[in-house]
Chain A
Amino acid sequence: QVQLVESGGGVVQPGKSLRLSCAASGLIFSAYGMHWVRQAPGKGLEWVALISFDGSNERYVDSVEGRFTISRDNSKNMVYLQMNSLRPEDTAVYYCAKDSSEYGDYVGAFDIWGRGTMVTVSS
């Protein structure tokens, strides 16, 4: 079955960097856009970033633009989130999610989610 597994979370000081990874299995990975969604403790879901199926298009929520970079390696079925200049308000569980749109230039539904990885930004 389709599975997404995130890794790379941890505790980091403000201003530092962290790289999250998401390993996908059970699907034709190169056919689907991928997203990162985060959830601060006790709060709702916040979309963070998307990357198109071929990596040609990236989009970010305003609050991370210029600090975070999403990327993918279709040869390894991996998607990444490089997070620089981290702030306390970036503290959250970060989920990797698959887009339902196949080879699409639009966003469909988030039909598969990983279990998430916790990022804590604190001194």
Chain B
Amino acid sequence: SYELTQPLSVSVALGQTARITCGGNNIVSKNVQWYQQKPGQAPVLVIYRDSNRPSGIPERFSGSNSGNTATLIISRAQVGDEADYYCQVWDSSIDVVFGGGTKLTVL
């Protein structure tokens, strides 16, 4: 089976840049999505196909994917960005896989 590994938690100072990683074997060969989930709410798609932002998502959110690691980058972090973040991939041999999630804290 295919596994996606995320850090349990990431902290970032207010206004600085947060980087949340998602590790997987040759993940560069897959499209990676990122979801933001605030307490008591449904997940929201923030990045699709590695680095694309849906409409309504701030430009401060960006993504990259290389080798065995995909990264969600949140620039100029705000208190409102505090949430759990999940990466997700699919291919026909593994179906859909989510990472374990990362709790982002803005200090």
Interface, chain A (partner B; CB < 8 A): 35, 37, 44-47, 50, 59, 61, 95, 100, 106-111, 113-116
Contacts and interface: CB of A to CB of B under 8 A. Distances in A.
* Residue of A59, A113, A115, A116 with highest tally of chain B CB at under 10 A: A113
A50 B37 CA distance: 21
B61 interface: no
A108 B88 CA distance: 10
Interface of B: 31, 33, 35, 37, 41-45, 48-49, 54, 84, 86, 88, 90, 92, 95-101
A47 B35 contact: no
Contact of B45 (A50, A106, A111, A116): A111
B98 A106 contact: no
B85 to A, nearest CB: 11
* Residue of A59, A108, A109, A115 with highest tally of chain B CB at under 10 A: A109
B30 to A, nearest CB: 11
Contacts of B100: 44
B92 to A, nearest CB: 7
Contacts of B92: 106
Nearest to B90: A107
Contacts of A47: 88, 95-98
Contacts of B96: 35, 47, 50, 107
**What are the 8 A-B residue pairs with the smallest beta carbon separation, nearest first?**
A109-B48, A47-B96, A107-B90, A113-B42, A44-B101, A45-B98, A109-B33, A44-B100
A62 to B, nearest CB: 8
A110 B42 contact: no
Nearest to A108: B48
A44 B43 contact: no
A79 to B, nearest CB: 16
Given A107-B90, A113-B43, A115-B42, 20 more contacts: A37-B43, A44-B84, A44-B86, A44-B99, A44-B101, A45-B43, A46-B98, A47-B95, A50-B96, A95-B42, A100-B48, A106-B92, A107-B95, A109-B33, A109-B48, A110-B45, A110-B88, A111-B45, A113-B44, A115-B41
